[in-house]
Structure formats: structure tokens, C-alpha cells
Amino acid sequence: MTRARMPRPHEVAAARRDPRLLRAVSERSLDDAWRTRGACRSVDPETFFPAPSEPVEAAVALCRTCDVQGSCLAWALEVGDCHGVWGATTPRERRAMLVAWRGQVRPDPEAADDELPPIHDRMLTLVPLA
């Protein structure tokens, strides 16, 4: 198993210009039902979660043909998912995009004050039962 590393500044700079990230930012709240139209629905899920030594090209190629690629990538970045192929990106690409995403996507100032931030921004406290 390989250990994930923090992306280098030049990788984050490249991610900020990546058209896949720009599309994800623009489509992040447009389609809540994107999963029902994904090209991946008819493919074995293991295709998108290959072992570290296996190629990801088949999954990335399928994602590139998908109409909901931007929404899929936006979801993966919103929840901080760094496993598998999402929105035609590899985990390594998404780690750099995640740094750029968190810098570009700001909470909606018009949102109600009582709304919770995304799960990755909340601290969860586990309370033991009796």
C-alpha cells in the first residue's frame, strides 16, 4: 500500500487550471440526481476502484464519455473522496484538485445560518451508549 502525500504547489497550480475542475465548480449544485444518469451504472464498480498496481485507463476513458462527469467530480471533491476514479480523475489528481477546490468553492452567503457545513468541515463526537 502506498502512502498518499500532500500535493506540491505546482500540482495545485495545474489543478486550478484543469478543465475538469472548472467544470466541476460550475456544475456543483446543478444536478442532485446525477447518479441516476452516470455511464458507470452499467459497469462493474470494481472497474472504478482498481488495486494500486492495476491500470485506471478503462475507468477514466468511460468517465470522459459521461454527461455527468462534472457533477460526479464535484461530489467527490465535496466529500473529500480520494479513492477510486470519480469524474475522470485519479486519486492523485483529486488530491491536488481538493486543495484548489477548497480555495475556490466558498459557502453560499445567502444560505441560512442554521445549515451545517459539509461533513468534512464538521467535527463528529462519538458518545458511548450507557
Residues annotated as binding site for [4Fe-4S] cluster? Answer: 40, 63, 66, 72
Distances 67 to 36, 70, 94, 102 between C-alpha atoms, Å: 11, 8, 19, 24
Report how far residue 105's alpha carbon sits from residue 111's, in angstroms, rounded to the nearest whole number. 14
CA 51/CA 1 separation, integer angstroms: 9
Task: Answer yes or no: are the C-beta atoms of 7 and 95 closer than 8 Å.
Answer: yes
Task: State whether residue 117 is helix, strand or coil.
Answer: coil
**Residue list, annotated binding site:** 40, 63, 66, 72
